[in-house]
Structure 1
Amino acid sequence: MTDDPNEQTLDSVSGPNAEALLAYLRYKESTGNANVDDFLQESPACAAYAEVLRSHAEAANQIGLNGEPSSNRAEDPSGNSANDINDQTVDFPANANVESYHDVPDDIAFETVVREIAFHAKGGLGVICSGEDSILNRRVAIKFIRPDRATETASDTFALEAEITGRLDHPGVTPVHGIGETQEGQRFYVMRFLPGESLRDQLSKYHKHVEQDESERAVDFRNMLACYVSVCKTIAYAHSCGILHRDIKPHNIMLGSYGETIVVDWGLSIPIEPSRDLRAEGDGTILPENGGSSEGHPVINGTLAYMAPEQAAGEQQLTPAADIYALGATLYQLLCGQAPLKGETFASAIQKIIRGDYPSPREVRHDVSPELEAICLRAMELKPQDRYTTALELAEDVERFLADEPVSVHPDNASQRIARWSRHHPVAVLTGGVSTILILLSVTAGLIVSSIFYSRAVELNKSLLLHLANTAALRWSSDLRGRWGKLEHWADDGELHQALRRVNEMNDLQIAEADEVQDWLTKRAVQGIGDLKVTSWYVNDSQGRIVALYDPNLPGKSEFHGVRFDYRTYFHGGKNDLPKKEPAEVAYPMLERPKLSAVYRSVGEKLAYRVALSVPIGPVEDRLGVLTMTIDLGFLEDADLIDMRENTFGGKESLRGIYLKYNVNDNPQSLKRVSTELLEKIDAQDFTNSDHFNAILVADYSGPVDPPGISSRQAAIAPVVVNGVWTGLVVVVEEGDVID
Structure 2
Amino acid sequence: MHTKRTDLDVTRDARDFGPIESVCEHFESACKAGEPPAIEELLLEWEEPERSKLLSELLQIELSYASEKGETLVSHIFEGRFPEHRQVVKDAFERWLSGRKSDAGTDIDDTLVMESHFGKLRLHAQGGLGMVFRAEDQELSREVAVKFIRTNLADDSESRDRFRLEAEITSRLEHPGIVPVYGLGDTGKGELFYAMRFIQGQTLDDSIARFHKGNESDDETVTDRERRYRELLERFVAVCKTMAYAHNRGIVHRDIKPENVMLGRYGETIVIDWGLAMHVGRQGVFKQSGEMTLMPSSGNSSGDSWGGTPAYMSPEQATGTLELTPASDIYSLGVTLYKILVGTVPFTGTLHELRSKVIRGEFKRPTSLNKKVSKAVEAICLKAMQSTPSDRYETALELARDVENYLADAPVTAYEDPLSRKLARWGRRHRTLSQSVLIGLLLLTIAGITATAVFSNLRSEAVSLQQSEHESRKQSLSVSARFAARTIADKIDIRLRILESMAENPQLHDLLRQVNLRPEDEASRVPLQAWFDAQRAKHVHIEDHAWSLFASDGSQVGRCPQYQDEEKRIPYGSLKQNYNYRDYFHGRLSDFETGPPNTQSHVSVAMESTNGGLIVVFSTPIKSEAEPSPLGIISMAIELGQFADLAVSLPPGQKVLLVDTRRYYMKLADSDEKGPSGEGLLLHHPDLSSVATPDEMPHLEQSIVKYMRDMKPDSLRIDNLLPENYRDPLAAVDEGAPLAAFAPIILTARPSDSDVYKTGWFVIIQQQ
TM-score, reference length from structure 1? 0.48
* TM-score (normalised: structure 2): 0.47
